[in-house]
């Protein structure tokens, strides 16, 4: 038993550069998907709530399609489908595109809830003060909608940390993939997945605390956001 543990930790030290690279890719996928997904979600939700009939139908169909199909299917479609039409993408590029599209659809729904939490009187009051429709949207509604939706957006970032493990299916050598490679080479399956599980748990704990701080910082007095989680 003790001898096996010594061998395991020796192998673990040997694989540390690989695990470091895997952790880097996991965090990269999480941050890019979260940030770019949020930026993409803003025009989506604006199209759904304030756009023309065509833009509402187009944006709504996109959100429904993404939310209605598994993330794995989306990654497969991008990684294996794009080459069929002459577009070559690397595994990491395919993963980033897939996660960004997926996250943007979900974040659009969370932001939509934030917009709907704002009273109609604020919109009408802004117009009565001489602001245009889009000035009202960008300077009055979006800042409040973001703060209302922040608890749900926090959950999306936490989900993304765990969703990145799916990327190993299309050969992205992220953290979970590195654990599988390690286990296949050394046969220490239980040992390494316990450690990797702890690493994911620590990442989620750190992100949860960071997002809790942001929620408190941007909290709107008189509005309880806890029910949105």
pLDDT in tens, the chain (229 residues): 678 889 999 999 999 999 999 999 999 999 999 999 999 999 999 999 999 999 999 999 999 999 999 999 999 999 999 988 889 899 999 999 999 999 999 999 999 999 998 888 888 888 888 888 889 988 889 988 998 888 889 899 999 999 999 999 999 999 999 999 999 999 999 999 999 999 999 999 999 999 888 878 776 665 554 444 4
Q: What is the pLDDT of residue 27?
A: 95
Q: What is the pLDDT of residue 120?
A: 85
Phi and psi of 52, rounded to 5°?
Answer: -75, 175
Whole-angstrom Cα distance, residue 96 to residue 67?
Answer: 17
**Which residue ranges make up each domain of the chain?**
2-228
- CATH code: domain 2-228 is 1.10.3720.10
The per-residue pLDDT for 123 is 82
Which pLDDT does position 228 carry in this prediction? Answer: 45
**Which pLDDT does position 222 carry in this prediction?**
53
Distance CA 178, CA 20 (A): 9
Q: What would the two tokens of residue 86 be?
A: 């002459």
Q: What is the pLDDT of residue 118?
A: 87
Q: What is the pLDDT of residue 226?
A: 47
CA angle 21, 25, 29 (to 5 degrees): 175
Distance from C-alpha of 47 to C-alpha of 14, rounded to nearest angstrom: 51
Beta carbons of 131 and 174 less than 8 angstroms apart: no
């Amino acid at each position: 038993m003790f001898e096996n543990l010594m061998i395991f930790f020796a192998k673990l030290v040997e694989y540390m550069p690989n695990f470091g690279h895997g952790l880097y890719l996991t965090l990269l996928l999480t941050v890019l998907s979260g940030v770019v997904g949020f930026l993409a979600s803003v025009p989506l939700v604006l199209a759904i709530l304030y756009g023309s009939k065509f833009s509402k139908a187009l944006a709504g169909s996109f959100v429904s399609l993404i939310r209605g199909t598994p993330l794995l299917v989306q990654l497969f479609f991008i990684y294996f489908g794009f080459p069929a039409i002459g577009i070559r993408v690397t595994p990491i590029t395919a993963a980033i595109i897939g996660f960004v599209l997926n996250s943007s659809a979900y974040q659009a729904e969370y932001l939509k809830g934030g917009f709907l939490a704002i009273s109609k009187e604020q919109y009408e009051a802004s117009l009565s003060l001489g602001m245009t429709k889009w000035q009202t949207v960008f300077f009055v509604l979006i800042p409040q909608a973001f703060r209302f939706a922040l608890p749900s957006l926090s959950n999306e970032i936490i989900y993304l940390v765990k969703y990145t493990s799916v990327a190993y299916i299309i050969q992205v050598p992220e953290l979970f993939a590195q654990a599988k490679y390690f286990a296949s080479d050394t046969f220490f399956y239980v040992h390494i997945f316990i450690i990797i599980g702890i690493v994911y748990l620590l990442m989620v704990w750190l992100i949860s605390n960071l997002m809790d701080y942001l929620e408190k910082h941007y909290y709107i007095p008189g509005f309880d956001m806890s029910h949105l989680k």
